[in-house]
């Protein structure tokens, strides 16, 4: 260890020969005025010094470095946009009924002229299959249903994204309620402490041990 430190010391002071080392050690060092002159930082040194990143910048940097997190955020953003504008893209309301347009196949404006998603569907019969187009059979020429219609003639495209909107809204409300209840529950438990804290935490342990499927089933029966 001492030899390693000695070699580092020799490299630092710039001595190459052992004789010079003995001379340097034996000679008493006398400080000069140059030893007390502040070291100036040139422009290159200033450019190389990196400013400390703020907490927000550090969090953003770590988030961007995680590809799975970025992909998940992009997908969630896409779902939110579709939930907001999706029900209005097709031009039909999600609750409009037209009994003359029941069980229609998907039909897309541009692709239908190319023979793709033109409202045709394959029907299975006893003797084989048959391709039918109910739009042509019922004389529907200027109406398009991107996802088709259900048995009541309702647009499935608008209903799909309206269902997505409701699902996201329920998830947001449920998370908010869970946060409020959990935060207040923890505050009460931590404030009183002792036996109150023990009883409240053991209650959470019991609730957490119950399978979620059982809880959901019981709620469905009660509600």
Contact in structure between 95 and 154 (CB atoms under 8 Å): yes
- How far, in Å, CA of 177 to CA of 184, rounded? 11
Q: Let me know whether 62 and 168 are in one domain.
A: yes
- How far, in Å, CA of 207 to CA of 190, rounded? 19
Q: Let me know whether 169 and 75 are in one domain.
A: yes
User: How far is residue 75 from each of residues 69, 70, 123, 137, 158, measured CA to CA in Å?
Assistant: 10, 9, 35, 40, 20
Record the pTM.
Answer: 0.63
> Domain boundary at 126, 154, 182, which?
154
What is the 3-class SS of 43-110, one letter each residue?
Answer: HHHHHHCCCCCCHHHHHHHHHHHCHHHHHHHHHHHHHHHHHHHHHHHCCCCCCCCCHHHCCCCCECHH
Q: What pLDDT score was predicted for residue 8?
A: 46
Percent of the chain beyond pLDDT 90?
39
Q: What pLDDT score was predicted for residue 152?
A: 92
Q: Let me know whether 173 and 81 are in one domain.
A: yes
Pick the closest to residue 158 from 52, 150, 138 (CA basis): 150
Q: Let me know whether 106 and 201 are in one domain.
A: no
Q: Let me know whether 189 and 99 are in one domain.
A: no
> Domain boundary at 139, 154, 169, which?
154
pLDDT(9) > 50: no
Q: What pLDDT score was predicted for residue 54?
A: 80
Q: What pLDDT score was predicted for residue 45?
A: 56
Whether 188 maps to a domain, the answer reads yes
Q: Let me know whether 99 and 147 are in one domain.
A: yes
Whether 131 maps to a domain, the answer reads yes
Whether 4 maps to a domain, the answer reads no
Q: What pLDDT score was predicted for residue 28?
A: 59
Q: Let me know whether 116 and 216 are in one domain.
A: no
Domain that holds residue 175: 55-86+159-222
Q: Let me know whether 63 and 169 are in one domain.
A: yes
Place of tokens 């799975």: 68
Q: Let me know whether 97 and 135 are in one domain.
A: yes
Q: What pLDDT score was predicted for residue 1?
A: 47
Q: Let me know whether 181 and 211 are in one domain.
A: yes
Whether 32 maps to a domain, the answer reads no
Taking only the tens place, the pLDDT of each residue in 83-109 is: 999 889 888 999 899 998 998 999 998
131 or 164: whose pLDDT is higher?
164
Number of domains in the chain: 2
Q: Which pairs from 77-83 meet CB under 8 Å and 24+ separation? A: 79/164, 79/168, 80/168, 82/161, 82/164, 83/161, 83/164, 83/165, 83/168
């Amino acid at each position: 260890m001492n030899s390693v430190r000695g070699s580092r010391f020799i490299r630092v002071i710039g001595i190459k020969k052992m004789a010079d080392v003995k001379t340097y050690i034996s000679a008493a060092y006398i400080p000069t005025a140059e030893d007390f002159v502040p070291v100036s930082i040139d422009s290159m040194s200033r450019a190389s010094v990196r400013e400390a990143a703020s907490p927000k910048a550090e969090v953003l940097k770590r988030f961007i470095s995680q590809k799975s997190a970025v992909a998940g955020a992009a997908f969630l953003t896409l779902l939110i946009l579709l939930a907001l504008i999706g029900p209005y893209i097709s031009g039909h309301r999600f609750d409009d009924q037209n009994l003359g347009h029941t069980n229609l196949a998907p039909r897309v404006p541009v692709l239908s002229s190319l023979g793709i998603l033109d409202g045709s569907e394959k029907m299975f019969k006893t003797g084989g299959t048959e391709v039918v187009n109910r739009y042509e059979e019922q004389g529907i020429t200027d109406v398009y249903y991107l996802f088709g219609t259900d048995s009541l003639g309702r647009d499935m495209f608008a209903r799909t994204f309206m269902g997505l909107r409701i699902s996201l809204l329920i998830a947001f409300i449920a998370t908010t309620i869970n946060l409020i209840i959990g935060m207040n529950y923890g505050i009460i438990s931590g404030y009183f402490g002792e036996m109150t804290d023990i009883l409240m935490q053991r209650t959470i342990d019991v609730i957490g041990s119950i399978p979620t499927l059982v809880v959901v089933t019981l709620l469905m029966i009660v509600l």
